[in-house]
Chain A
């Protein structure tokens, strides 16, 4: 995790509305609304997010529902539960994670398909 720039939304916090920013963010509490972040967003296992999310990179250990648009990577870790549509060049789903929705990556197929 990055150092000084990292914001944390603690366990007891509930945020409703839009969340934008430039630094990394760790969500341990709840966020409802919209999130637009220039850097890395982490939803910890206690975190619960109901929001459309835009970020550079997204790591989910908790719960997220809403559409996700990441410019580099989305990691859905084993403890995560995610529902929504994901658009990102790289998407990783660990064994044990629960995901329902669609994923859109670039898929380079052979020409003769």
Chain B
């Protein structure tokens, strides 16, 4: 078979990954319920809660402004939000529309598919920062060193990886129609309990006791530390906590994925 010799037997991976990533991006971009809320909601929260006292010191005698502190909070909120929702929504949609069956029959390697969605989520997360950072700079008058901006950005992007797995797991565990409700039910209350909207000290004592064990709280610590605000522990502890949650979430996601696979494709 000369034809088989002349043409490659499989499509090259890189163009496939680029196409798939572009498609995944368009799928999310064209759902305003996702794209508009992920890009604009953190800015709106920042305007409502942060702007009024942006220039005030975080506490008496601190050189850190509330504006900078709340920027870190919203950066963490925005990025984790994108990770959980983009994965939750795409997995749920795909299951709901039986898209997964057709994709399974194509020569698309599952890993390329997964990677394309990770890249899309991280790109979207970076996009939310690209909206939030200038807003905080211009409207909130937040001034940070170049290294602080950079540290904040890379920490929130890197630290958000466990939340990819969480979104993935919820997408497979919840029904296709209830995924968004389940995510809201989990995400918003834990964002409050982790002190992303109001400093932890203002929360009820019982919540304060729980919050150190919440992944979003640990994630928040990384953000606050990046802009120089004092945190309760060394950030290595926070990284370790997040890594632990990451492993646990990935294990749950893998289990949920395999459960779905064996149910559908056995």
Are A and B interaction partners? no
Q: Mark A residues whose CB is within 8 Å of B.
A: none
Q: Mark B residues whose CB is within 8 Å of A.
A: none
